Structure 1
Amino acid sequence: MMTADYLKDPSGRKYRVRNNVDCKSSNVVYAVNCRPCLRYVYVGETGGTLYQRHLLNLSRIHTQHSDPVAEHFCTDGHSMDEFRIMGLEILSGSDEYRKTMEQLW
């Protein structure tokens, strides 16, 4: 799992990471980083733990599932080894609130 004080989008804007998120944290917004691309390729949310979401993403990559994360890491020159996940924010509130915060990130 990656840690950082901020997330930088493709245009170079920086967004401060708001909480100290670890793999046991639940109800979080997270980002997926691709090491060869040197960028974040996806922002998502989960009501479960960040660890559970990490395993689900890796499983989807392994089975070549049709979702944005799996499709990115199944392209030429990519593999599961380049997949990195970083927690951005721990939330309290409803699923709807978490999904709204995901969109804001």
Structure 2
Amino acid sequence: MFFRKPNMSGPCGAQRCAICPYMMKAEYFTDPSGRKYSVRNNVDCKSSNVVYAVHCRRCRRFVYVGETGGTLYQRHLLNLSRIRTQHSDPVAEHFFTDGHSMDDFQIMGLEKLSGSDEYRKTMEQLWKSNLRTYRPYGINVKE
């Protein structure tokens, strides 16, 4: 009998990948009410066209949801650089203020999509709402 491996978010496994240490390995994730969701398609550092969440170990929750048409690797190299240089954007500021550090930064791929940029951005908005990452609960800002 054939069993399909579950979809999951996790590291790509490349030896010198700078993002792998920050990737959460999971098949499921939960929203603040405890509702459980499955990762949609396999997502790793090298995946593109992705909706992702930033998790804070210190806060013990998802604090930000974003999307990228590029790879998670490219997107989060930028985030890590901004945290290190104390850049003034919401993600970076969260991880260099109030006792936080880069050690608290984690990435979860929520879903890998096929389709248009517009569809990816629509799904990003849905996940921001489901995971309650808009201020004051998280660091996303309503546009």
Asked whether the 8 Å contact 1:32–1:43 carries over to 2, the reply is yes
Stretches (4+) displaced over 4 A = none
CA distance in 1, matches of 2:125, 2:52: 11
**Is residue 6 from structure 1 mapped to residue 38 from structure 2 by the alignment?**
no
- For structure 1, list consecutive stretches of 5 or more residues without a partner in the other structure: none
Residue 36 (structure 1) shift? 1.3
* CA–CA separation in structure 2 for the residues paired with 1:69 and 1:22: 20
**If the length of structure 1 is used for normalisation, what is the TM-score?**
0.90
Do residues 47 (structure 1) and 75 (structure 2) align?
no
The one of 82, 88, 98 equivalent to 1:60 is 82
Aligned-partner Cα distance in 2 for 1:4–1:70: 24
Report deviation, 1:73.
Answer: 0.7
Which deviations, in whole Å up to 9, do the C-alpha atoms of 1:55-80 show, x marking residues without a partner? 11111112222322112112121001
2:117 aligns with: 95
2:69 partner SS: strand
CA distance in 2, matches of 1:98, 1:65: 26
- 3-state secondary structure, aligned to 1:84: strand
Identity over aligned pairs, percent:
87
Higher relative contact order (CA 8 A, sep 6+): 1
State the partner residue of 2:141: none
RMSD: 1.3
One-letter code aligned to 1:96: E
| Larger strand percent | 1
